[in-house]
Amino acid sequence: MKIKKKKYRAAIVLTILSVLFRSMSVNATEGAEEQLPTGPDQAIDEINAPAVMAESAILMDIDTGVILYEKNIHERMYPASITKLLTCLVASENSELTDIVTFSHEAVFGIERGSSNVGIDEGEQLSMKDCYYAALLESANEVSSGIAEHVGGSVEGFAAMMNAKVRELGGTDSNFVNANGLHDENHYTSAYDMALIGRAFAQNEMLLEISGTPFYHIDATPTQKDEIDLRHHHAMLPGSQRGQKNIYEYTIGGKNGFTVTSRQTLVTFARKDGHRLVCVVMKEEKPQHYLDTAELFNYGFACYDDPSVKALIDARAEEMMPVEDEAGGEGGTSDAGSSEGLTPEEMEERVDRLTDQNEGASGETDGADRSERADAEKGKSGGIPVLVVIVIVVVLAAISLCGFIIYRSYRLEQERRRRRAEIMARHRARKQMQE
């Protein structure tokens, strides 16, 4: 009897486990379905705008700043190695190509073990030009840290310069704490801010040329004993030695990145028929980040071929052009007007007053932006996600099924006992009759 009870309990446990595994399978299937491509939040050509798999993406005209496509562009993201675009941009504005970077112990050994590097050793030296190639082509983390220490005095000092540069460009979603993009909870940005950084980077012809170089060789020197071959990691670049299937013929430069947390991140520059675009895709899987980028470029360049869409792009570009202060013209009396005839004291007073006004306006704008973003986040979290509802329903169904199975097994066991009792009673009655 005890053996049968054990079998009965084992059957119940196996049934429950089977139901739970099925519910987990359904949950995984639902999660996979959620990875389908989704359309943009806004696009300048809504009809032909593609759907992409990236969690956030943006396509921007480099020369005008007009956004042609946007999806979750202010969502906080981890950039990984596309950080190095900003590293090189800040360094280029605060150093010379001929500067010599000496690598400290912290720069060499302070990076994550196994992360991208070119094998520079403590005390070795590279020119700033070679550092740019190492950072942008091979994504060398120790070289990026060396750049930061050389230009900013320390990684922390350089990070402050990076954040100041982003604010200068108009970015409001970023906080950078290192120069290489290795994961840190406090190191984040957005697709929009990366597009602003990419646009400024692409307007620096020297940096753009470096980021579009498929291969570069560094000679050995008395202060750096090894010859180093650098190969670009961006597989869309013509001449890339990473394979041919993802090459996009109009690509002129870019940078890719990856960490386990950030997933694939990619900034790409392309030029066709005189139009230059920067595309940013963030948090995506390989090789879909290349496919989405190519599709966005095809859509973007096609926008210029459609007269009606081209007219809309031109109108937005005109709206974005800086407007001269009308009061600052001839005979104007505004503080923003001509400074001729002012004493140094008066000029200093005017600068202070304008700075105070700008900071006040910036504070109001930032406050409004934060308020709008908080409202948007509140709206997003207002309802229960569909996946959560599905999981709850599946779990409840599993519990109900388990209950039904247990109840049915209990009834069958009761019926079996009843029939056994009847059989035993007949046996006893037959035995008594025989006696």
* Residue 397 amino acid letter: A
Written as six digits, the tokens of 349 are 């007073």
pTM of structure: 0.69
Q: What is the pLDDT along the chain (435 residues), one digit of tens a residue?
A: 444 444 455 555 555 555 454 544 444 434 434 557 888 889 999 999 999 999 999 999 999 999 999 999 999 999 999 999 999 999 999 999 999 999 999 999 999 988 999 999 999 999 999 999 999 999 999 999 999 999 999 999 999 999 999 999 999 999 999 999 999 999 999 999 999 999 999 999 999 999 999 999 999 999 999 999 999 999 999 988 777 889 999 999 999 999 999 999 999 999 999 999 999 999 999 999 999 999 999 999 999 999 999 999 999 999 988 754 444 444 333 343 333 444 555 555 554 554 454 454 445 444 445 445 545 444 444 456 777 788 888 888 888 888 888 888 787 787 777 777 777 777 677 667 766
Rounded CA separation 196/435 (Å): 105
Written as six digits, the tokens of 88 are 């090189």
Taking CA atoms, 318 is separated from 273, 313, 324, 327, in Å, by: 20, 9, 13, 21
Taking CA atoms, 392 is separated from 3, 174, 395, in Å, by: 36, 36, 5
Written as six digits, the tokens of 96 are 């010379």
| Structural Rg of the chain based on CA atoms | 32
366 neighbors 372 (Cβ within 8 angstroms): no
Rounded CA separation 138/126 (Å): 15
394 neighbors 388 (Cβ within 8 angstroms): no
Torsion sign across C-alpha atoms 416, 419, 425, 428: negative
Beta bridge partners of 280: 58, 267
How many Å separate Cα 19 from the centre of its chain? 37
158 neighbors 152 (Cβ within 8 angstroms): yes
Cis before 287? omega within 30: yes
Q: DSSP character for 38?
A: B
